[in-house]
Structure 1
Amino acid sequence: MHLTANGHPLDLSPERYGELEPMNHLLGDPAGLREAMAERGHLFFRTLLDPETVLAARHEILLKYAVLGEIDDRYPIDEAIAGDGAGVASANLRAFSESVRSGARYRAVTDAPEVMDVHRGLLDGEVRSFDMRWPRFVRPGEGCGFHCDGPYMNRGTSRIFSSWIPLGRIERSEGALIVLEHSHRSDRLHNGYLRADADRDGLTWLDDDPVNVQNDYGRRWLTADFQPGDALFFGMHTLHGALDNLSATRRCRLSSDSRYQRVDEPADPRWTGEHFEGHGGSRVFYPGLGSWQNEDFQDEWKDVDEHGRLRLRPATGASRNDDT
C-alpha cells in the first residue's frame, strides 16, 4: 500500500500509522463520550447514520457538480468520476455554493438526530450546528494540508466539535481524513499555533509533510476505509488533514465538515448568522483546483467577481507555517 499526503509519502510502520478504533459502545453514554474525547481527541463511529440518508445527500450534491462538468457523465453520477470542469469558470459559484450546502438531503445528514445526540453528550447541553457547512469535493490528485480547527473557529466559544462525515464510500487511497494521535495534548500547539486567529494572523497550513508533523507533534497517523453512515468527531485542538486522492479510476471524494456548539454560548460571526462573513464577502467555498499552501485561504476559498464568477489566482510554491 502506498499513501501520500500533499505528495509526501506516509510512514506506514506500526509505530507511525494505525487504524481508527470504532467507539460505538459509548453511544448513549454522555459521560463516557466526554471521557473518551478528552483522552483521545477524536471519536470514530461505524454506521452512526442511516447509509441511505447519506447516499441521498451524496446524490443531491453530485447532481449539482455534474452541471458544472465536474462529473464525467459517461459514467453513473453517483460514481463521481472526475470530469473536465468545463462549466466552473462561467458558473455563478456563489449561488452554486449556497445551493450545495443548503440542500435538504445534505442538511438531513449534518443535522441528523444521531449527530446532534453525540454533540449533546459531548457538550452536556443543547447544541446547534454552525450556519456554514463545508461539503468537500476532492478531485484525483488533491489533498489537504495539516491544521487544527481552533484558529479558524475561535471568535466565540472554544467549546466546539467538528464532524467529518464521508458522503459515500471513501477508501484511504481516495483521500480519507487522517488525525494525529494525542496531538490535542501537544504543549507546542497550545503555546503557539492554537492561540492564533487564522484571519488576523494570516495562517497557512501548519505543514504539508506528514513526517514533519509527526516529528514536531508526535504519535501515529490514524485513518480507516470509510463507509456510508460512518462519522468521525474531533475537537478544536486535534491535528488533522487528508490523504491524497490517488484513485486509479479518477473517482472524486465527497465528504462533509460541520461544527457544533452549545446554544447558550457565543458564536463565531465568521460562520454563524444570516449573513456570516466567512473569510471575506468577495469569495466562496470551492476547494481544490490548485495548490496555494492555503495562503489567504485560497486552497478552499476562491475569489469571485460581483456575478459570482471565478477569479483564480496563480498557484504558489511550497511553504511551512511554524507555530505562530
Structure 2
Amino acid sequence: MTATSSDRTPSLTANGFAIDRSSDAFAELVPADELLDDPDELRAAMADRGYLLFRRLLDPDVVLAARREILLKYAILGEVDDRHPVDEAIAGDGSGVATANLRAFSESVRTGQHYLAVTDAPAVIRLQETLLGGPVKTFDMRWPRFVRPGEGCGFHCDGPYMNRGTDRIFSCWIPLGRVRREEGALMLLENSHRSERLHQGYLTADADRDGLEWLDDDPAAVRAAYGTRWLSTDFEPGDVLCFGMHMLHGALDNRSLNGRCRLSSDSRYQRMDDPADPRWNGDEFDGHGGRRVFYPGLGRWNNEDFQDEWKHVDERGRLVIANDS
C-alpha cells in the first residue's frame, strides 16, 4: 500500500506530550486582517482575544532576506547542513558551536540589517503605535530563534521576564519562513490572559528574582488549569502574531520529517514614554546577568537558570553548559 501525504504527516506534540486535537481542546488562530484600518476595533479585539494574527502584514521578500542572512551565519557553525540549499534550513551536526565565539555570533544574528528590517518594519511599528496609543520603541534586545528537529518550548507568559519597566508591552512572533504546525509553530492558550490563577502570583513574579522555570510542560494540564483551547496554525512568510504579557504560550515540537529547522523571531514593543526594563534595553543591557549568550536549544533543563535559551560562555565567548544532565 502506498503511503498518503496524511500518513506521512507527523502527529503534533509539545514537550513530548501528544496534543489533544479534539474541537474543544485545539483550534485555529483567527486572523484579524480586516481590523487593521479600525483602531478601536483592533484594540477591542486584542483585549477580547488576547492576540492578533495578521497574514502577510510584511513583505515576504523582506522576511526571506532576513531568513537567508541568519541561516548563512548558522551554516558557519555547522548548524545548517551545507549539502542542501541553506534556505532549506536542514539541520547540520553543529560541529562548530563548541569552539565558536557565541557572544559575537549572537550579536551578529540579532543586529543583522535584514533582520532589523523585519522587527522594525513600518507595518509592525504602525500596528504597535495603534495598540499602545502613541510613539513606540522596539526593545534593544531581539530574540531570533533557531529550533532544531526534536526541540520545543515550555509554557510561560512573557510578563515576568519583561516587567521591570512597564507591563504595557506587546510581543510579536514572526515566522522567518514557512512554519507549519508540525515544524514547531507557536501555540497560545485561549482565554489565558483572563486567568485569575495566573494573576494570583505568577504574572507579578520577576523571573530572575524569583528563579522562574517554565510554568509547566504538559499541554493538557496547562489547558485544564489556565484556559480553554490551544490555538495554532500554519504560518507563511509575512505573517505576524501579536500578543500581550499575560497570554500563556509555548510551541509545538519541531517534528519535521526532513530535518528542517524552524526559524522565527520574538520582538517586544512599548511606548517611548514608559520606563524600559534594563535587562533588555540600553547600550549595555545584560539580559539575565552573568556571562550568558542567547543561544536556544541544545538540550532541555526546564529552563533552570534560563539554560534552555541562555547559555553560559567563558571569557572568550565559548560555550559552557552548567549542570548538564
Kindly indicate whether the alpha-carbon contact (under 8 Å) linking 1:45 and 1:231 is maintained by their aligned counterparts in 2.
yes
1:308 has 2:317 as partner: yes
CA shift, 1:313, in A, is 2.6
Kindly indicate whether the alpha-carbon contact (under 8 Å) linking 1:291 and 1:315 is maintained by their aligned counterparts in 2.
no
Amino acid at match of 2:167: S
RMSD: 0.7
**1:114 aligns to what SS in structure 2?**
helix
Q: Give the aligned partner of residue 35 of structure 1.
A: 44
Give TM-score scaled by structure 1 length.
0.97
Post-superposition Cα deviations, 1:153-174, rounded to whole Å, max 9, x if no partner, equal: 0000110000000000000000
Kindly indicate whether the alpha-carbon contact (under 8 Å) linking 1:101 and 1:134 is maintained by their aligned counterparts in 2.
yes
Aligned-partner Cα distance in 2 for 1:302–1:195: 26
Q: Give the aligned partner of residue 194 of structure 2.
A: 185
Aligned-partner Cα distance in 2 for 1:20–1:39: 14
Residue among 108, 133, 149 paired with 1:124: 133
Q: Give the aligned partner of residue 294 of structure 1.
A: 303
Give TM-score scaled by structure 2 length.
0.96
1:240 has 2:249 as partner: yes
Aligned-partner Cα distance in 2 for 1:106–1:120: 20
Q: Give the aligned partner of residue 257 of structure 1.
A: 266
Aligned-partner Cα distance in 2 for 1:281–1:272: 16
**2:123 aligns to what SS in structure 1?**
helix
Unaligned ranges ≥5, structure 2: 1-9
**1:199 aligns to what SS in structure 2?**
coil
CA shift, 1:314, in A, is 4.0
Aligned-partner Cα distance in 1 for 2:71–2:290: 25
1:101 has 2:113 as partner: no
Kindly indicate whether the alpha-carbon contact (under 8 Å) linking 1:123 and 1:262 is maintained by their aligned counterparts in 2.
yes
CA shift, 1:315, in A, is 3.9
Residue among 11, 26, 32 paired with 1:17: 26
Amino acid at match of 1:93: L
Alpha carbons of structure 1 residues 241 and 51: separation in structure 2 relative to 1, 3 Å: same
Residue among 150, 158, 166 paired with 2:175: 166
**1:158 aligns to what SS in structure 2?**
coil
Amino acid at match of 1:286: Y
Post-superposition Cα deviations, 1:77-96, rounded to whole Å, max 9, x if no partner, equal: 00000000000000000000
**1:2 aligns to what SS in structure 2?**
coil
**1:141 aligns to what SS in structure 2?**
coil
Kindly indicate whether the alpha-carbon contact (under 8 Å) linking 1:154 and 1:268 is maintained by their aligned counterparts in 2.
yes
Kindly indicate whether the alpha-carbon contact (under 8 Å) linking 1:141 and 1:245 is maintained by their aligned counterparts in 2.
yes
What is the number of equivalent residue pairs in this alignment? Answer: 316
Q: Give the aligned partner of residue 224 of structure 1.
A: 233
1:194 has 2:203 as partner: yes
Aligned-partner Cα distance in 1 for 2:62–2:97: 28
Consecutive aligned runs of 4 or more in structure 1 exceeding 4 Å deviation: none
Unaligned ranges ≥5, structure 1: 317-324
Q: Give the aligned partner of residue 279 of structure 2.
A: 270
Amino acid at match of 1:143: G
Aligned-partner Cα distance in 1 for 2:290–2:173: 25
Aligned-partner Cα distance in 1 for 2:266–2:275: 20
**1:201 aligns to what SS in structure 2?**
coil
1:77 has 2:89 as partner: no
Post-superposition Cα deviations, 1:98-157, rounded to whole Å, max 9, x if no partner, equal: 000000000000000010111001101000000000000000000000000000000001
Q: Give the aligned partner of residue 111 of structure 1.
A: 120
CA shift, 1:183, in A, is 0.3
**1:98 aligns to what SS in structure 2?**
helix
Aligned-partner Cα distance in 2 for 1:180–1:286: 26
Q: Give the aligned partner of residue 146 of structure 1.
A: 155
CA shift, 1:312, in A, is 1.4
- Between 86-95 and 306-315, report the one with greater CA deviation: 306-315
Amino acid at match of 1:2: S
